[in-house]
Chains A and B, each alone.
Chain A
Amino acid sequence: MKQMTVSTTINGDVVEFLCEPDETLLDVLRNRLNLTGSKEGCGTGDCGACSVTLDGRLVCSCLVLGAEVNGREIGTIEGVADGDTLHPLQSKFLEHAALQCGICTPGILVAAKSLLERNPDPTETEVRYWLAGNLCRCTGYDKIIRAVLDTAAEMRGA
């Protein structure tokens, strides 16, 4: 298959890559760009472990083709911290022990960040529904929900 040239911005950096027309964005990130923070849990958009933002919108990168992202902006877990300063969500996840094995954590952080950008004061129910597409098998979600709510409160200066 003939490879395509794609030009994009990932976590603020201009990135060009070659990919095959049937290759997913997740495969490109992981296998071509060595951005392995996004995880493949299902490959069918059911688990959310590969969550990234595409032009600011939360998507499962396993459901997006690499060829589709030409000229667009992608945000991954690798860009959530600002240099060596963790995003408040990352700090709160550590503080609340809101991760156990950690495989779903990158996707959940990207999704939660996307929520707080839209809704800085979500209710518990709103957090639960927003994160309903991100499966976690370890924690029972309790500490994750608390960490997100606590981050929201802190970011609002409450």
Chain B
Amino acid sequence: MPLDNNNRVFKSVGTSPLRPDGLDKVTGRARFGADATASGMLWGRIVRSPHAHARIRSIDTSKAEALPGVKAVVTRADFATGLDGDIGDILENVMASEKALYQGHAVAAVAATSPSIARKAAKLIVVDYEVLPHVTDVDEAMKPDAPVLNEKIFTEGLAEKPTKPSNVVKRIEIGHGDVEKGFAAADVIIEHSFRTEATHQGYIEPHACLASAGPDGQGELWCCTQGHFMVRDTCAQLLGMDVSKLRVTASEIGGGFGGKTTVFIEPTALALSRKANRPVKIVMPREEVFVASGPTASSSIDIKIGATKDGRITAADAVLRYQGGAFPGSPVEMGAMTAFACYELEHVRCIGFEVVTNRPKAAAYRAPGAPMSAFAVESVIAELAEKLNIDPIELRLKNAVKEGSRSSYGPVFGPIGLIETLEAAKAHPHYSAPLGPNQGRGVASGFWFNFGGQTCTSLNVNIDGTVTLSVGTPDIGGSRASMCLMAAEELGIPYESVRTIIADTSSLGYNDVTDGSRVTFASGLATIAAARNAIKVLCERAAKMWGIPADAVIWEEGYAKPAGANAGEFEPLSLADIAKVAGNTGGPIAGHHEVNIETAGPSFATHIVDAEVDPETGRTQITRYTVVQDAGKAVHRAYVEGQFQGGAVQGIGWVLNECYIYGEDGVLQNAGFLDYRIPVASDLPMIDTVIVEVPNPGHPYGVRGVGETSIVPPLAAVANAVSAAAGVRLTELPMSPPRILVALEER
């Protein structure tokens, strides 16, 4: 479906109506992961390794099994066998077999009649561990003498296959041109190394599920997830079930940001339920969310950029080392692909290393891999601007990618909006506002691909003229509202006449996970197509009612109208008029659409930040923040702004406070919201937003995704502001007060 046209006047799309699920959410009625119960329900509890790296010699479950109230105990023996590759890694992460690879790695689980009995039973499971040396730091893990996690890992992507196993899973390289030639043409070259720590998505809702599996081999699962079809397929494989026999319903989801795109507790709850033949609920305590779900990767990055005196970048080179925790899957490739994506470069190279460490397996976190590499690159760009005495936005404009530019990761860009965000940022009053003492201003740009993927929607016209839309993508931040808007727009009916539900896995075809900022884009596209299919049927029915050929009927603003030779011959029929008599004209009216969208709409953002650094304490206060981002087309403006604001604030947390702190024993030191401190209301100013709209030709309304791009620039933008305020370039995250104080002293 190509872009309708750039000048289409929208009636519903682009407004900000109340969200359809809002009432449930402000009254406490909405049912999230932990809110479901079932009769006869048991409580599950997972036993986790206290060691960062240990061989499991034996597990004795007899004492736990003997405790009154305990109905089932499972270990790895209760799961499918013979799985390898990615699915094997997922199983190994869900339940360890021979080795515990990180503190918090699940080794057994119990189900009991109350939470307190389950807790007691978990303590009665005796695991005999042989503690092994461990490594949690990415650079340490790459050293030749580092403890090796997995004897089967031989670095891929090297010229010669290594003879010894190591923690380096693979080496990747992307780019084009000849960077050495590019650097030779530079007047100025800037080189820096950077480090970022792992952060957690920090969703407020811990993982939770309610599983029920019976002796007939059928199962049901209720869980908070970004993708219930993925949960179904993964759990079925891990338990050796037929996919069709497992029905998964997505609960309301209390935040995810990528962290709920995999399974952690769901297969275990099913295994316990199957063994006990009773429903089992598992809710992760917060501490377990930190140690045993998937935070993002930590990284160690080297950047080298060369430019001519007038600010044209001649070459850009990066080496990225990302740790993905105990299993392969770090987002280094996407870090490499996004690092220089904002710049038009003749000579560019990104080398990436994916490393395993004794940490929980990394999961996606909003634009996975991109914030770290953008932090490093945009810090160097800021320093380049200083050195060349060029305004940082001017420097970016001079090198910015535009339609027709070859991207640093290969393809040629279509219509994109980076220049528009830079121009809007430059023109924003924030950019020219005066700064106070100890304050600095930072700017950074960022890029994210966005994603399409497998999508299936079903639109049913009800007899009263309302419409029920079934989508298979969990609503993580207001997407039901955007679906209702697009269906209403296309059908020409009021927004309030559309109800969007998230269908369970047995009621709709397969849908990819809610990730890659894909939902408003892809489920939206499928919704529009489904509506157009329904319109075709509506026109046929009108033709039947009038006794004229179907192709002599057109659909305009919610009405079927006779056209061509019959124009004006009959009174237009509304959707409700046609729906009311559908039973007499051929039965129910519906529209469906199934698609695997290969393309998406890449988006760019530019952020401006003011930070004030207290020279006495090293504490940083963000005093002003402006997000400028290309949405393609903002379907629900208030929720687009909300995505911009939320991403910016997560980025602020990442720069200033948040990080995983490991002790020498490999144990996480700050597994709670008191010590892992995400930004609170009093830490922040209002977050101003500017929505840029450069239509995406790959979507009928021009939509691009918006959720992820917003976290790409803030790390660098804040870092640049803090560095300007402190008068010294800071290269390590988080920029917490002690670190800033050291930098101030060394200045």
Contact = CB atoms under 8 A, between A and B. Distances in A.
Contact of A36 (B18, B31, B253, B681): B31
Contacts of B672: 42, 44, 46
B599 interface: no
B646 A37 contact: no
Given A139-B642, A139-B645, A140-B687, A99 B26 contact: yes
Contacts of A36: 28, 31, 34-35
Interface string A124-158: 01011101111111111111111000000000000
A49 interface: yes
Interface string B669-685: 00011100011111110
Interface in A30-46: 30-31, 34-44, 46
A77 B27 contact: yes
Contact of A40 (B37, B203, B206, B647): B206
Interface string B235-261: 000000000000000001111110000
B330 to A, nearest CB: 23
A24 to B, nearest CB: 11
B183 interface: no
A63 to B, nearest CB: 12
Interface residues of B, number: 62
Given A41-B205, A137-B257, A139-B645, A96 B116 contact: no
A15 interface: no
A10 to B, nearest CB: 13
Interface in B282-323: 283, 285-286
Given A41-B206, A103-B255, A105-B25, A140 B34 contact: no
Contacts of B285: 43
Nearest to B257: A137
A109 B28 CA distance: 10
Interface residues on A, range: 35 or more
Contacts of B29: 37
Contacts of B21: 102
B406 to A, nearest CB: 35
Contacts of A100: 255, 476-478, 639, 642-643, 646
Given A43-B285, A135-B673, A37 B27 contact: yes
A75 to B, nearest CB: 12
A115 to B, nearest CB: 11
Contacts of B19: 94, 97
Interface in B614-662: 636, 638-639, 641-643, 645-650
Interface string B8-31: 000000001011011111111111
Contacts, number: 186
B202 interface: yes
B684 A137 contact: no
Given A47-B673, A137-B202, A137-B204, A143 B642 contact: yes
Interface string A1-33: 100000000000000000010100001001100
B32 interface: yes
B682 A129 contact: yes
A101 B18 contact: no
A86 B206 CA distance: 28
B202 A145 contact: no
Nearest to B625: A140
A101 B682 contact: no
A76 B28 contact: yes
Contacts of A22: 116
B638 A97 contact: yes
B678 A135 contact: yes
B468 to A, nearest CB: 21
Contacts of A132: 680-683
A124 to B, nearest CB: 8
Contacts of B30: 102
Most buried by B among A132, A134, A139: A139
Contacts of B679: 141
B678 A137 contact: yes
Given A40-B206, A94-B18, A140 B684 contact: yes
Contact of A41 (B286, B477, B638): B286
21 contacts: A20-B116, A36-B31, A42-B286, A47-B286, A49-B204, A94-B23, A100-B255, A100-B642, A101-B204, A101-B254, A103-B255, A106-B26, A109-B26, A132-B682, A135-B204, A137-B646, A138-B642, A139-B642, A139-B649, A142-B687, A143-B642
Given A44-B674, A101-B256, 13 more contacts: A37-B27, A40-B206, A42-B673, A44-B672, A46-B674, A100-B643, A103-B254, A105-B25, A135-B678, A140-B684, A140-B687, A142-B645, A143-B641
The 3 residue pairs across chains A and B that have the minimum distance between CB atoms: A37-B28, A103-B254, A102-B25
